[in-house]
Chain A
Amino acid sequence: MIEQLLIYPLLLQMALAIILMFAWNNTSTQKFISISGSTLNLALAVYLLMYVWQNGTQTVQAGNWEAPFGITFVADTFSATLVLLTAIAGLAVSSFSSGSVIPPRLKFGYFPIFHFLLLGLNGAFLTGDIFNLYVWFEIIIITSFVLLTIGGEKAQLEGAVKYFTLNILASVIFLTAIAVLYGLTGSLNMADLAAQVAAVENRTLVQVNALLFLVGFGIKAAVFPLYFWLPASYHTPPSAVSSIFGGLLTKVGVYALIRVFTLIFELDNLLENVLLVIAVLTLFSGAIGAIVQNNIRKIFSYLVICHIGYMIAGLGMMTEVAIAGAVFYLIHDIIVKTNLFMVSGVIYKLKANHNIKKLGDIYADFPKMSLLFVIPLFSLVGIPPLSGFWPKLSLIGAGWDTENYVVIGSILFASFVTLFVIVKLWGEVFWKNGEKLPELRNFPYFKTLTSVQKVQMVAPIVFLGLVSLYIGFAAENIQQLASRIAFELLDNQEYIDAVLNSAKK
């Protein structure tokens, strides 16, 4: 049974979703099942990462069909790490949803859909088959579309239309790319493709194919120039939903980019330059977008875009240090972005407003809570020794080694703008004497919530804050993890052997 450990997170999420569907109308049971199931999932994910760390890459051939023909599930260190991060963010958001999402929304199957989304995320991280990756992407899109529209407010529907249109376009491009790849090589297994693609003689077509993948995943990762859907939709749903979206959805695109361009395609000069140009422009456009916004969640949405640029830059430079930096940043970013959107949710419950010009006084009214919010905000900026600092160090070092001074410049620029935006936010929302906001009737203010709900909303922020602090203060451990991931990604022989040779046993 232990050799199938790596699909247990998938099975658990599936089982949770089904059990939750049986309790469709009973939201308090659903909350209990969701939180306890997510806790179990976290324990499983920790065990999986430890197991993979000690015993190397694990594989399962679903349906017992041998490797290049059947669907393989693979857990190398990178996948296992991301499954763990999904579990951490999933537990936090599950608890936060229980406290903050209003009952009429929960009645429309919020929790089952939420666990189907986590199932899709885990599946995307664990699969070793490129077409299966597409299927998991579809599950992610459909479930996220439902989560985005539950409640049916006008703004939500508007955001959802933009979200869905661009993401389905990305899926079509991704599917086309798979079709071309299959036509070229006759294989869909990623480990098998690694060898097959290198042997294809028509290099131009391979290059075009690589670009198709880049566009498809690029839209999903919200990189320049196709990021419009993200700030248009992430501020509309309940903040519990935005936090799982902001934390994980774009990161799946980044994961897929890193996986495809380290395993299947060799980066040539053209692709490297394309990636670096995209990274620089993403850093600039996200940063500048964040400066001009006044809605808290829109600011965070633009910062999500901006910081995707760091990871793309790391991938574009393609040295071991750079990839390690990108992976470290990915680890830090998932935790911090999830936390930030939850912070925005709590601020909204406190003041019933999202506009930083109108907000104010939070530090005077809620000093303890403000000190708690400092952790994610300044981790994001990367003030040493908090978690955002270390990966940037690696990225800048790698930029220096590969003489990409423009990239270094834009990384510094984006960090500086992030600092400016967060300080502005801090000044406006926490320190400023805000105007007197009218008390809304029927609005579930934080003070009217039960103490259980308050705990359910604040505990995940504390939890993710502690994880952020751990990433910052125990950076050595994370750096070790990131370096090993980078080593495995660049020297992909272990991955290929694990997939293809396990079939011969």
Chain B
Amino acid sequence: MKTIILRTASNYMLPLLLVFSVFILLRGHYLPGGGFVGGLIASIAFVLHAFANGLGNTKNLIRIHPGFLMPVGLGLSFLSGLSPMLGVGKPFMTGIWYPEKIAVIGGLGSALFFDVGVYLVVVGVTLTIIFTISEST
């Protein structure tokens, strides 16, 4: 599918969709959204790019193997669950929050890092699956 319209559009869509996925990730604590959906949208951005420009170009764009994001994301989520135990001596997975609101992000707490971990895992898994399938066909 090497059409010039799609190729031009995908260059603009990629950053737009990535920003949108971060937006979805951040609003997810109290409203619909969150790491899982955000991660899916981010991987759609890359899949669209791969459709328009070929798999090789997208891989060059990402540089690292997407599978590497899985342990990174899992590790981040794990550490965010661990942080209340190490930091304040509360049980595993207790939410700890920075008392003041921060611009753009809103509330900053361990749950946010957990969600970011989920985001990374979802991007890693989805892209690994899709890249593997499209390589083997």
In the bound assembly, the distance between CA atoms of A18 and B80 in angstroms comes to 14
Check if B85 is an interface residue, CB within 8 A of chain A: yes
Interface size class of B (residues with CB under 8 A): 10 to 19
B89 contacts A60, C-beta separation under 8 Å: no
Q: A7-B92, A21-B70, A62-B93 are in contact. Are A1 and B85 (CB under 8 A)?
A: yes
**Which residues of chain B (64-99) have a CB below 8 Å from chain A?**
67, 70-71, 74-75, 78, 82, 84-85, 89-95
Residues of A close to B89: CB separation below 8 A:
1
A18 contacts B74, C-beta separation under 8 Å: yes
In the bound assembly, the distance between CA atoms of A22 and B75 in angstroms comes to 10
A62 contacts B78, C-beta separation under 8 Å: no
Residues of B close to A1: CB separation below 8 A:
85, 89
**Which residues of chain B (105-133) have a CB below 8 Å from chain A?**
none
Q: Please pick, from B71, B90, B92, B95, the residue contacting A22 in the complex, using a CB distance under 8 A.
A: B71
Check if A228 is an interface residue, CB within 8 A of chain B: no
Main secondary structure of the interface of A (DSSP, over half): helix
Q: A1-B85, A18-B71 are in contact. Are A60 and B78 (CB under 8 A)?
A: no
Residues of B close to A11: CB separation below 8 A:
78, 82, 92
Residues of A close to B75: CB separation below 8 A:
18
Check if A61 is an interface residue, CB within 8 A of chain B: yes
B48-65 toward A: CB 8 Å interface, digit per residue (1/0)?
000000000000000000
Residues of B close to A64: CB separation below 8 A:
84, 90-91, 94
A4 contacts B92, C-beta separation under 8 Å: yes
Residues of A close to B84: CB separation below 8 A:
64
In the bound assembly, the distance between CA atoms of A60 and B90 in angstroms comes to 10
10 contacts between A and B (CB under 8 A): A4-B92, A7-B92, A11-B82, A17-B74, A18-B74, A60-B91, A61-B91, A62-B93, A63-B94, A64-B90
Main secondary structure of the interface of B (DSSP, over half): helix
Interface residues of B (CB under 8 A from A): 67, 70-71, 74-75, 78, 82, 84-85, 89-95
Interface size class of A (residues with CB under 8 A): 10 to 19
**Which residues of chain A (1-40) have a CB below 8 Å from chain B?**
1, 4, 7, 11, 14-15, 17-18, 21-22, 24
A63 contacts B67, C-beta separation under 8 Å: no
Q: A8 to chain B: closest CB distance in Å?
A: 10
A63 contacts B71, C-beta separation under 8 Å: no
In the bound assembly, the distance between CA atoms of A185 and B71 in angstroms comes to 39
A21 contacts B74, C-beta separation under 8 Å: yes
A15 closest partner in B (C-beta):
B78
B91 contacts A63, C-beta separation under 8 Å: yes
B93 contacts A63, C-beta separation under 8 Å: yes
A71 closest partner in B (C-beta):
B93
Residues of A close to B67: CB separation below 8 A:
24
In the bound assembly, the distance between CA atoms of A375 and B62 in angstroms comes to 55
Q: A189 to chain B: closest CB distance in Å?
A: 15
In the bound assembly, the distance between CA atoms of A62 and B93 in angstroms comes to 6
Residues of A close to B94: CB separation below 8 A:
63-64
